[in-house]
Chain A
């Protein structure tokens, strides 16, 4: 049992439990806070996978910016907690969990039915792939057009959000 495995199991456990808590807590604020915990533990998993740059931007962009936006809107609107479910609602819930279970079992089956014989890269190649240098190299040479398109997407989203939140529809 190496340190790598121990860290993986700690992060994976936090990740799985917090994702369950996100969908079971009745109060939206608690859901949002558990989602932040989930994103933070995901950043730890990314570090285990030698993806330093993505781990840092996961914390800054997801756990920082996006979740603050979510919490801001939740505090602004003060949505009431979900009420205890009744008859039809309860049936729908049971059905949803059953569908989820079936899909999960299918995914597990597909993952383990074939013995994986893919070549795994050396540790050095894996570390090199996660550095800012190699990601930036790819981003500004082969993927410059998608990068510019992402910039336009963000511009459009900012303008769209302004228009949507400003206007009062009749």
Chain B
């Protein structure tokens, strides 16, 4: 009667891998950033699944904190992207490599 927890975990694993592949394949800084959000959300899904099946609300509390960190990360990251675009006029992460070597 209840959905097995493995279903949620498989979906979470799938979303995480999609995020990883996105970070590896895409060259646009904003899209790479969105893929990171995708990975954060897949972690959230498994945290909530565990929390719900265990009957303990602490897992959902952690999701709450993850959301806070994601909001902070999004604001800072997008500010960095805007500053980058002002200086380089590009969002391609292959062309932004001054810190690489």
Contacts and interface: CB of A to CB of B under 8 A. Distances in A.
Given A4-B3, A164-B83, A158 B8 contact: no
B99 interface: no
A12 B12 CA distance: 10
Given A19-B38, A23-B22, A49-B48, A125 B55 contact: yes
B96 interface: no
Given A76-B82, A82-B26, A161-B79, A8 B60 contact: no
A143 B64 CA distance: 11
A154 B8 CA distance: 30
Interface residues of A, number: 86
Given A38-B41, A49-B49, A160-B79, A62 B67 contact: yes
Interface in B1-49: 1-3, 5-11, 13-22, 24-28, 30-31, 33-35, 37-38, 41, 44-45, 48-49
B2 A120 contact: yes
A103 to B, nearest CB: 5
Contacts of A50: 52
Which bucket holds chain B's interface residue count?
35 or more
Nearest to A13: B11
Nearest to B20: A100
Given A100-B21, A130-B57, A45 B8 contact: yes
Given A38-B38, A77-B85, A51 B52 contact: yes
Interface in A133-170: 134-135, 137-139, 143, 146, 150, 153-154, 156-158, 160-162, 164-165, 167-169
Contact of A53 (B18, B49, B60, B71): B60
A120 B49 CA distance: 11
Contact of B48 (A2, A54, A125, A165): A54
